[in-house]
């Protein structure tokens, strides 16, 4: 516990699942004399799990976002609508993109990942030839591409590239593509292929969850989708994807989750991250070498549970990110004004994942997503689709009010 009775400064960098949860939890635990500041370049929170529906016109931006400033103002949290440009670890300051210097006594990093499209020539929106649903702008761009595709349909390729870790999003998008193709009466005209760094379907970067491999295989057989696992995407050109080994996949529409890395400001700060830009943490979500710094969510370093022939990152779901952030927030508060500490080993993290398939889906639940032991549950059917709809409504409405408990 800090010895001074004067107010302390807590800075949260990022305001997605981890950052929002940490900010609300720290503010709730600390006395008003202490200041909580959140930095994020986006003015709105985006419910990323719903972005898979945006390209098909099933959601608009207003349906999956809410403004952060009013929420933080009500909760007594200072919001700075900027990104962190760099960190002065010795001086304990965050330097924003406008050059503002924000001091901290404790800092939590919840920036999420950098989308490293440039690692694969031709990948991604903008300068590339594939789409993405990793952020709202990309999902809205994918809607334009999907509308063009419906006018001139053909092969579809969906997947997660080597170095990516958000396998659930690519599976969900794939199943929704298959559903929309059938509804449009285009099943005979649109062959669908799934490309993944995973060693087998349903691996998810975790070695599988229960009988997830068998369950996903059944979905692929039912929907007539070809799965191409354990593969490296070498490059993408207009209408063609080239895989290592020489296979070529023609496409009229493609959505590929890119490789992930840490954001530049973290990666470029000496001693803050591993070579990929991800932040190491202990069981309190504290940096092992920099005690004033905590991290939670997609920006932390997690070793895969086992080696894979093609690099496949470990996913960090919204549920996992929030649990990490809650632990970090409790420990930050304990540092500043005392109280119970919270240790949560990565191996003890639980995960709940709902893969929507348009009018059906799969629910996965694991008590220890990275560790041994515990129970796993896998359930398929229309209840998964309705569960995701219900959770979307609950999550957005509760977080708008500053309620973080599941």
Q: Is 166 a catalytic residue?
A: yes
- pTM for this one? 0.94
134 is catalytic: no
Catalytic residue among 120, 166, 256, 320: 166
From first to last of the 406 residues of the chain, give the pLDDT tens digit.
Answer: 664 458 999 999 999 999 999 999 999 999 999 999 999 999 999 999 999 999 999 999 999 999 999 999 999 999 999 999 999 999 999 999 999 999 999 999 999 999 999 999 999 998 999 999 999 999 999 999 999 999 999 999 999 999 998 888 999 999 999 999 999 999 999 999 999 999 999 888 877 777 788 888 988 999 999 999 999 999 999 999 999 999 999 999 999 999 999 999 999 999 999 999 999 999 999 999 999 999 999 999 998 877 888 988 888 888 889 999 999 999 999 999 999 999 999 888 877 788 899 989 888 777 777 756 567 777 888 998 999 999 999 999 999 999 886 5
Domains 9-114+261-347 and 117-259 share a fold: yes
- The residue from 206, 281, 344, 353 that is catalytic is 353
Q: Per-domain residue ranges for the chain?
A: 9-114+261-347, 117-259
The answer to whether the CB of 224 falls within 8 A of the CB of 74 is: no
Tell the CATH topology of 117-259.
Answer: FAD/NAD(P)-binding domain (3.50.50)
The CATH code for residues 9-114+261-347 is 3.50.50.100
């Amino acid at each position: 516990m800090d010895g001074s009775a004067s107010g302390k400064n807590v800075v949260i960098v990022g305001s997605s699942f981890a950052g929002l949860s940490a900010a609300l939890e720290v503010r709730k635990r600390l006395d008003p004399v202490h200041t909580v500041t959140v930095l994020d370049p986006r003015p709105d929170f985006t419910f990323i799990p719903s972005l898979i529906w945006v390209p098909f016109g099933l959601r608009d931006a207003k349906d999956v976002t809410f403004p952060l400033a009013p929420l933080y103002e009500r909760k007594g949290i200072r919001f700075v609508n900027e990104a962190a440009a760099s960190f002065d670890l010795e001086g304990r300051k965050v330097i924003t993109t406008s050059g503002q210097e924000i001091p901290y006594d404790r800092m939590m990093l919840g920036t999420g990942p950098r989308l490293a499209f440039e690692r694969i020539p031709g990948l991604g929106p903008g300068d590339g030839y594939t789409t993405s649903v990793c952020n709202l702008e990309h999902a809205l761009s994918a809607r334009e591409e999907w509308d063009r595709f419906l006018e001139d349909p053909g092969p579809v390729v969906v997947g997660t590239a080597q170095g990516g870790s958000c396998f659930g999003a690519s599976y969900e998008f794939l199943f929704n593509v298959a559903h929309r193709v059938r509804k449009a009466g285009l099943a005979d005209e649109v062959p669908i292929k799934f490309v993944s760094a995973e060693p087998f379907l349903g691996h998810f970067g975790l070695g599988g969850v229960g009988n997830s491999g068998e369950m996903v295989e059944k979905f692929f057989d039912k929907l007539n989708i070809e799965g191409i696992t354990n593969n490296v995407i070498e490059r993408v050109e207009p209408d063609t994807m080239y895989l290592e080994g020489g296979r070529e996949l023609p496409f009229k529409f493609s959505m590929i989750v890119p490789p992930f890395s840490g954001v530049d400001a973290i990666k470029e700060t000496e001693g803050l991250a591993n070579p990929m830009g991800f932040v190491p943490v202990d069981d309190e979500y504290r940096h092992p070498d920099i005690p004033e710094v905590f991290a939670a969510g997609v920006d932390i370093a997690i070793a895969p549970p086992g080696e894979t022939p093609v690099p496949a990152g470990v996913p960090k779901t919204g549920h996992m990110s929030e649990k990490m952030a809650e632990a970090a927030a409790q420990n930050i508060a304990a540092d500043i004004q005392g109280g119970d500490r919270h240790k949560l080993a990565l191996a003890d993290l639980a995960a709940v994942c709902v893969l929507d398939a348009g009018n059906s889906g799969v629910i996965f639940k694991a008590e220890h997503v990275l560790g041994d032991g515990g129970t796993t549950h896998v359930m398929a059917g229309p209840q998964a689709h309705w569960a995701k709809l219900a959770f979307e409504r609950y999550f957005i409405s509760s977080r708008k009010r500053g309620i973080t408990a599941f």
